[in-house]
Structure 1
Amino acid sequence: MRDFGNARAAAPATASGPVMSGGLVDSVFDRANQDPGLPAIARRLGPAGTAWTRMTAGELRDEVVALAKGLIASGIRPGNRVAVMARTRYEWTLFSCALWAIGAEVVPIYPTSSHEQVEWILKDAGCVAVVVEDEPGIMTVGSVCASLPRLRHVWQLDAGALEALVQKGRPVPATTVDSLRRIVLPDSTAVVAYTSGTTGRPRGCALSHRNLASPCDTLLEGWGHTGAPPGEQPAVLAFLPFSHVYGLMIQGLCLRGGLLMGHEPDLNADALASSFQTFRPTYLYAVPFVFEKLYKNFLRAAQQAGRGALFERAVRTAQDYALALERQRMGAGHGPGIDLRLQHALYGKAVYRKLRAALGGRVCGAASGGSPLNRELALFYAGIGIPVHDGYGLTETGGGITAQPVGREKTGTVGRPLPGVEVRVADDGEILVRGPSVFQGYVNDDPGTHMALRDGWLATGDLGHLDPEGYLSITGRKKEIIVTSGGKSVAPAALEERLRAHPLIHQAVVVGDNRPCVGALITLDPEFVAHWRGGLFAQDEVPGREAREENALRQEITRAVAAANATVSRLESIRVFRVLPEPFDVASGLLTPSMKLRRDEVTRRYAVEIDAMYQSSSRVPRERRTEELPTWDDSDDVFRRVR
């Protein structure tokens, strides 16, 4: 067993961060007292593309107090649980702060959750109230209210609930809020965050104020100076869902660190592009899916402008430059040579500056979480001037527990343990964690809590390894390991990551439990497929065009599968695959709010396609099977499905 703990950050950081005596919202009140004019929130009051208005720390504190008074007048008491079922918007932040100010507990729910999921979470947590965003939210909660006797209030944001609560609370003295806030202790429960449910029913993780504050304070102290150029206030655009602990950590970083925070509720490409241009963040928090999508958008735009070859050369130069710098940092090289520096400088003006401009022109760094970031992609972003600090955490740890040490970043890993955190890898490869952010336990599940917490160590369920310098690499989940009928164990994550690196491939799910070989379900990126089709043949080549396009696509996907297979042994390689008609998404229940695959649901939903995929393979004569070419079912007409 390899054990690394209390790893030093390259920038100064303490093992425990600032001494905490109260709750999370105290930082809002302290900031307002110390610097009431500091911009705290940026709000866009009109549609996408309109200007942002700034709310000061003093104004935010006053709005928190006004809403907290309304909650008190409505009968919300310390220890009550209130669910928030809305997208990432200002009111989410306001409600969470107001609830914490009176000692209540927040239960995040993703707004597109199914009736069954909403019913389960509200009942299991014992919520007395729920905040919804719109009419669909009201309908979802209304359909399950009969089974929720403890639920007393349903507040709809878009129907004026916030204003009504503020009005209702006017008679309540502000001193009442202050008195309740002062009795909140660091170890009081702040959030009951439900796991994403990738392999079963979600479980409620009780997280204290200290659990949530600890990683935020440590990151702010050791890494905070990387969030903006010297002398500028860091600005963060929050667009990841606050229903996930990563989103909550981003909110906590902004509130506790005095960062300017803007909210973007829409995750579609146009909305994000508009917000990047108008809000102009200095630091980007995202998941690998977002970084992958941004890269593919850059590539598609370059190809449409007739500069695809230039872009690909610039990408290789950026990666080579970043890799040379990394080797220099780690004492394994002398840094970029003069030729590489000249090439990098040339592409800096012709390409990299334009890529950074697409993100608002001020982004000087980024963080990736939720799942490991592809090493080549991380090198690309570092090479264009946006170093991405890959980290690791989970719901049960209140957010991050590892991060890339500043000045000693090692791509392909998720960094080293944060100061105050201990990480071990058990003999079976499972990652064990101990530290101040580890949760209090699962709500209403003592047996599950005892299984997860062993002598103070959290058994994460993730597999990984620590290198001699203490850098952690994630290799998969214990529950996701595939065992073929031949007894070969396969971790799917690396294969899926490699497949997603191809511009045409949007998502991939590796399957093969109790099957003769490993297979894959693949979805395509509709936008990139349309772009790829447009440039494949001359427009006047009409006869037989569709058949040739289909054949060319088969070859491209087969090459992508072969490239992924080159990274693993033959017994671990993908032998059959099927292209599915549409991407997985959150609304269909096949992705979690943090964009992770719900594997059990995917394999259940596509059981017929999986069976057909293996049956088609078994019909191929043995002499026709090759080591290089996995089977493509002839019934797959992908273009008809993605048009």
Structure 2
Amino acid sequence: MRDVALAPTIAPPLTGGLADSVFDTAERDPTRPVLAHRTDPAATVWRQMTALELRDEVVDLAKGLVAAGISPGRRVALMSRTRHEWTVLSLALWCVGAEVVPIHPASSREQAEWILRDADCVAVVVEDEQAVMTVGTVCAALPRLRHVWQLDAGALPELARQGTVVPYTTVESLRRLVLPDATAAIVYTSGTSGRPQGCALSHRGLAYPCDTLLAGWAHAAAPPGEQPSVLAFLPFSHVYGIMIMLMCVRGGALMAHEPEPTEATLASALRTFRPTYLYGVPSVFERLYKKFLRTAQQAGRGALFERAAQTARDFAAAEERRRLGSGPGPGFDLRLQHALYERTVYRRLRAALGGRVLRGTSGGSSLSRELTLFYEGIGVVINDGYGLTESCGGITMQPLGREKSGTVGRPLPGTVVQVADDGEILVHGPSVFQGYTGDESASRAVLRGGWLATGDIGQVDSEGYLTITGRKKDIIVTSGGTSVAPAPLEQRLRMHPLVHQAVVLGDDRPCVGALITLDPEFLAHWRAALALQGDSPARETREENALREEIARAVASANSAVSRAESIRVYRVLPEPFAAGNGLLTPSLKLRRDAIVRHHAAEIDAMYQARSRAGRGPAEPADRDDPDDVFR
């Protein structure tokens, strides 16, 4: 095995619970704005809450929780979108030593019941009547569930009112009894195959990567002398969202909540809140890029945008070579071109992000090198990091001033990463989880002598940078014995603006294949821009032929990064996207590969049979002119 480690941690050790920082900040800087939210997605003004106001609201809610019988060690589920109440409630629960159990608000009745039962929750907080109905149908089967609190029905003010009989000293005593190694949250995995498992995460485990990142990276999150600000829009039901929330609370950043991250509301929130730091998953940054391109094309400036985007990537790549010591940096002509596009293109793109974003983080899966270079080239450095639920989030991060696109950076100080002989990534450090609730055998399977077996495969270069190549269980082995990691191919397919989703498959098949869905908004724009003339049937035929050519180009681009044996030889475009509603995506929008293969078994069989009927060999390309080979 190969070890990769950085210097010992510089973050101070945790001495209490996660809620302590709320009280510390309120005492040290009571008027500091720490939370912001807006009641109307169309509003341009954000209501801010100071550190003192946050502490008082947390205390009032904590008193209400005590009055309701929530005691240390009890588990309370939060089934809500990313909103102000989620943050305040979680802090109040940690104040009294209770454990938070996040549930994605879009979870089905069966998913909610499983988590509430598996975690043995005594209460659940939901948003609206629809969620009350979802939970209400399973209450009879959950005798331990005593409370269902609805946010939109005034549950929090009512809890605070009930808590007026509880003295402040009771909350203070309970808070001081919380130890760093006590369980803070039971966070469920995505459940890409089988039922999700509850990961027991301690106060220390959750605090460690946050405090380490704050100690080493926080100064780069805003211009000197300014307070960092972060727009929270990803679900708090997953560890990535919780980690961002805790970093803001513990680091004193101003955090705004956006519960409905549609393209329109997210664009509005970015323009009006104007964060200094942007975080998201790769699909968010892909969507932003496609929106930039679509907007430019609609304004008749598509060619200009594409030239500017390529210049941004070239400039960032040259800067990367310079900072890594392998090149002199951008030449005179490239600097001149970059300066021209800075005045005409890049500053407008940054304005669409609010105009103040300096840096950002992408997590959940790897961000393509091309996109990383694009964002750096327009003046927004996006750091690709790595973590998982079982590690309380962060494992690696890009070192400041030594960022390397296409990798997920180096291990955080105090965390050690090993790459096993079979390519699996193993992790050791203070953030490794306590185990799966109620499943000792599964815990033993992934916790090997203190090392967490992540299930991810990757490699480490000579400078200690980690690259993730895929999930161990997702590796495809064709009938010819070729092993293929699907993630890089899928990532490159999604870079084409028309491609929304892609699933690469081929286990026990003669070659690698793919299922593709199209981006509906970009498809509509593309059809309008095509503006073909003639009668309807002929026009539609030419349009479909043009679309096949575009998808063929996307596949060819993806194939250019792999060997011929690993390349996609057959594919089919599906009429509907994979969605959480049809069970093909997890609530965190990860592909349920097994479910997708089962759901589209007929299409997959037809795709390969069509290839077989054509008499193609394993390495020969599919016939792109046969609509039955490509479109369902």
Q: Secondary structure at the match of 2:463?
A: coil
Distance 1:414 1:150 in 2: 42
Point out the more displaced range, 181-190 or 43-52.
43-52
Q: Is the counterpart of residue 315 in structure 1 residue 287 in structure 2?
A: no
Out of 301, 304, 328, which is 1:334 matched to?
A: 328
Could you report, residue by residue, the CA deviation over 1:121-150 in whole angstroms, capped at 9, with x for unpaired residues?
111110000001111111111111122111
Query: Which residue number corresponds to residue 416 of structure 1?
Result: 410
- Tell whether the 8 Å contact from 2:386 to 2:395 is kept in structure 1 after alignment: yes
| Alignment match of 2:192 (pick from 173, 181, 198) | 198
Pair 1:152-2:143 in alignment: no
| SS in structure 1 at match of 2:242 | helix
Listed as ranges, the matches of 1:447-486 within 5 Å are 447-486=441-480
Residue 174 (structure 2) aligns with = 180
Residue identity opposite 1:527 in structure 2: E
| Aligned position for 2:37 | 43
Aligned 1:9-408 pairs, distance under 5 A: 15=9, 17-408=11-402
Deviation per CA, 1:612-641: give whole Å up to 9, x if none: 212222222449x98454657624896xx9
Bigger shift: 576-585 or 469-478? 576-585
Distance 1:539 1:256 in 2: 60
Query: 1:2 corresponds to which residue?
Result: 2
Select 1:529's aligned residue among 523, 531, 534.
523
* 1-structure distance, mates of 2:348, 2:281: 22
User: Structure 2, unaligned stretches of length 5 or more?
Assistant: none
Deviation string for 1:582-608 (max 9, x for gaps)? 222233332223322111121122122
Paired amino acid for 1:421: T
Inter-partner Cα distance in structure 2 for 1:616 and 1:302: 39
CA 1:274 to 1:471, structure 2 compared with 1: closer, same or farther past 3 Å?
A: same
The secondary structure found in structure 2 opposite 1:169 is helix
Asked if residue 634 in structure 1 is aligned to residue 608 in structure 2, the reply is no
Amino acid at match of 2:627: D
The letter for the 1-side match of 2:68 is S
C-alpha distance after superposition, 1:500-530 (max 9, x if no partner): 0111000100111121211101000001111
The alpha-carbon deviation at position 16 of structure 1 amounts to 5.2
Partner of 2:543: 549
CA distance in 1, matches of 2:608, 2:116: 41
For the Cα contact (< 8 Å) 2:41–2:265, is it kept in 1? no
Count of matched residue positions in the alignment of Structure 1 and Structure 2: 632
Tell me the distance in 1 between the aligned counterparts of 2:227 and 2:581: 36
Aligned counterparts of 2:382 and 2:43: Cα–Cα separation in 1: 27
CA distance in 2, matches of 1:397, 1:299: 36
Task: Give the structure-1-normalised TM-score.
Answer: 0.96
1:3 maps to a residue whose letter is D
Q: Identity across aligned pairs (percent)? A: 69
Q: Does the Cα contact within 8 Å between 2:611 and 2:622 map onto a contact in 1?
A: no
Question: Alpha-carbon deviations, 1:87-107, whole Å to 9, x = none?
Answer: 000010011000000000000
SS of aligned partner of 2:530: coil
Shift in Å, 1:162 = 1.0
Deviations 1:31-79 (A, max 9, x none): 0011000001012133433410110000000000001111110110000
**Aligned residue in 2 for 1:11:** none
Partner of 1:519: 513
CA contact (8 A) 1:329 1:407 kept: yes
Contact 2:623 2:629 in 1 (8 A): no
Gap regions ≥5 residues in structure 1: 9-13
**2:556 alignment counterpart:** 562
Shift in Å, 1:542 = 4.9
Select which of 556, 561, 583 maps to 2:577: 583
Structure 2 length normalisation: TM-score? 0.98
Deviates further, 550-559 or 626-635: 626-635
SS in 2 for 1:186: coil
Asked if structure 2 preserves the Cα contact closer than 8 Å seen for 1:577 and 1:631, the reply is no
Q: Could you tell me how far apart the structure 1 residues matched to 2:425 and 2:41 are? A: 45
Q: Which amino acid aligns with 2:212?
A: T
Amino acid at match of 2:606: A
Distance 1:129 1:632 in 2: 58
> 1:558, 1:630 within 8 Å by CA — same for their partners in 2?
no
In structure 2, what is the equivalent of residue 614 of structure 1?
Answer: 608
Once residues 592 and 632 of structure 1 are traced to their aligned partners in structure 2, the CA distance between those partners, rounded to angstroms, is 34
- Partner amino acid for 1:524? L
Using the alignment, how far apart are the partners of 1:569 and 1:144 within structure 2?
A: 51
Distance (Å, rounded) in 2 between the aligned partners of 1:517 and 1:29: 59
How far 1:277 moved relative to its partner?
Answer: 0.8
**Contact kept in structure 2, 1:129 and 1:153, CA below 8 Å:** yes
Counterpart in the other structure of 1:435: 429
Does the 8 Å contact 1:138/1:156 carry over to 2? yes
Aligned partner of residue 170 in structure 1, secondary structure: helix
**8 Å Cα contact 2:280-2:363 kept in structure 1:** yes
SS in 2 for 1:535: helix
Q: Hey, what's the Cα distance between the residues in 2 that align with 1:128 and 1:214?
A: 28
Question: How far does residue 537 in structure 1 lie from its aligned partner after superposition?
Answer: 3.1
Q: Distance in 2 between matches of 1:16 and 1:313?
A: 43
Counterpart-to-counterpart distance in 2, 1:558 and 1:384? 29
Equivalent position SS for 2:455: strand
RMSD: 1.5
1:534, CA displacement in angstroms? 1.0
User: Which stretch shifts more, 26-35 or 566-575?
Assistant: 566-575
Q: CA deviation at 1:429?
A: 0.1
* More off after superposition, 163-172 vs 580-589: 580-589
* Counterpart residue identity of residue 582, structure 2: S
1: distance between equivalents of 2:566 and 2:367? Answer: 21
> Contact 2:206/2:431 (CA < 8 Å) preserved in 1?
yes
- Tell me how far apart the structure 2 counterparts of residues 631 and 205 of structure 1 sit (CA, whole Å): 46
CA distance in 1, matches of 2:616, 2:598: 29
